[in-house]
A = this chain, B = another copy of it.
Amino acid sequence: MDYPEAVARLLQEAGAGLGDEVEVRAADGRVWKGLVMEHHAFSAPHVLTLKLSSGYNVGVAVEGASLRLARKVPARERAPKSTAARDGLPVVSILATGGTIASYVDYRTGAVHPVTSPEELASAVPELAHTASLRTRIVFSMFSEDLQPEHWQRIAREVKAEFDAGAHGVVVTHGTDTMQFTAAALSFFLHDLPGPVVLVGAQRSSDRPSSDASMNLHAAVAVAAGTRLGEVVVVMHGDTSDASCLIHRGTRVRKMHTSRRDAFQSLNALPLGRVDFEANRPVVRLTEPHRHAGKGPVRVDDAMNERVAMIQSYPGLWPDHIESVVLDGVVLVGTGLGHVAERTFPAMEKLQREGKFVVMASQCLSGRVNMNVYSTGRDLQRLGVIPAEDMLPEVAYVKAMWVLAHAKTRDEARRLFLTPMAGEMDERTDVEAFPRPEVAQ
């Protein structure tokens, strides 16, 4: 695809083109250095995509940006071109797993029922026919609160099958209740993704006037069809208007409201981008660094040790509550910087003696666990408790299950757990990523 005018002009003025190394200073002052990438369908017309040396891509708005050519890169050094179909629309597979997005209300009983055929789902959003060539399959039809690791593993294998069969991207429709757990699990399971894996759901079923089902699905398909993201993301309503969706990294997202359409938020990280509806057409903007799709084939690495518990700390938490539920490991969701009451320390000592894997996240949800500030944290570290850094509790829980199935020793498990694998942890956290009430702003 050729570059849109504004992008082409900026490149031309600097004598740069596809594959060259450039340095761009964006209007917001951020400086990006990387290789000039192709422009993709559904990308906003004013966005230049760069491949960073980290291997991640970023989309930079060209308005107010300046660009400098760093190095002309000969064609032979360049990465091979996108394999997406050029002569038609990109193939997107929709895998349905249940949830409100694939449900309708039976007005006789008031109950919510699942959609029973793939056609029902796709035909609910006729605009999709202009966005992608769709393949739709029902994998299972369950409330997401009932999903187990075995279901995450099944979805991972189905995603691989779709990519192996030539899909450009895969959309997974899913209940919102535990979408964050599935998104994290798929992020750890799926390697060498040749295209985006997009989880999407709805807070209100598609036959209600206020439903977010059709817009969310449209946005999800646009991300799956129109980007070369090589990550697992969640696409959901971005605000109360019907104007945009946000693209959340699968390991940084959490459902933060029981009923609002904009219930999903990225915590401790900015969303990777957004999908704006302009004249009813989805326009995808990727604004944060993200992993670029590889050549595939997808590798699924989904071994899990399910003998991990999650316990939120509260004033009445006694040692025997902890002891009675911990099997091979536990994620403690402590207070503040990562604390539990001193009276639980005997239980911690026992867990350490027995070689259990004990991780500390924070019930604050935002911010980083820091167990060096107070004596409680230092004591807990001496008892073998591993700080989950800036990981969400739910993500730490899924990662702990994955790590325990992949490490032979406790030290190896600790090392694996503290190694970033899928954007789930970072050395620094963007302050803008903290959701705050309007009244305080």
Contacts and interface: CB of A to CB of B under 8 A. Distances in A.
B343 A146 contact: yes
Interface residues on A, range: 35 or more
Given A310-B316, A394-B314, A432-B437, A259 B370 contact: yes
A257 B376 contact: no
Nearest to A105: B373
Contacts of A324: 321, 324-325
A271 interface: yes
Contacts of A434: 256-257, 260, 437
Contact of A314 (B246, B310, B337, B440): B310
A144 B335 CA distance: 9
A306 B317 CA distance: 10
A397 interface: yes
A145 interface: yes
Given A145-B335, A259-B337, A435 B437 contact: yes
A258 B334 CA distance: 10
A177 B339 contact: yes
A433 interface: yes
A340 interface: yes
B337 A258 contact: yes
Given A337-B258, A339-B145, A438-B436, A367 B312 contact: no
A374 to B, nearest CB: 6
Interface stretch (A63-71, A225-233, A358-366): A358-366
Contacts of A317: 310
Contacts of A335: 144-145, 177-178, 255
Contacts of A271: 437, 439-440
Contacts of A270: 437, 439
A239 to B, nearest CB: 5
Interface stretch (A73-81, A158-166, A261-269): A261-269
Given A335-B145, A437-B435, A375 B111 contact: yes
A436 B439 contact: no
B257 A145 contact: no
B321 A147 contact: no
Interface in A368-420: 368-370, 373-376, 394, 397, 401
Interface string A140-178: 000111111100000000000000000000000000111
A61 B315 CA distance: 40
B366 A257 contact: yes
Contacts of A45: none
Enumerate the 9 nearest inter-chain pairs by beta-carbon distance, A residue then B residue, closest first: A258-B367, A177-B335, A177-B336, A324-B324, A257-B367, A145-B339, A435-B435, A257-B366, A310-B314
15 contacts: A111-B375, A145-B335, A148-B316, A149-B315, A257-B366, A257-B367, A258-B370, A312-B312, A312-B333, A314-B394, A433-B437, A433-B439, A435-B435, A436-B437, A438-B441
Given A256-B364, A259-B368, A270-B439, 6 more contacts: A146-B341, A146-B342, A181-B315, A271-B437, A316-B401, A438-B441
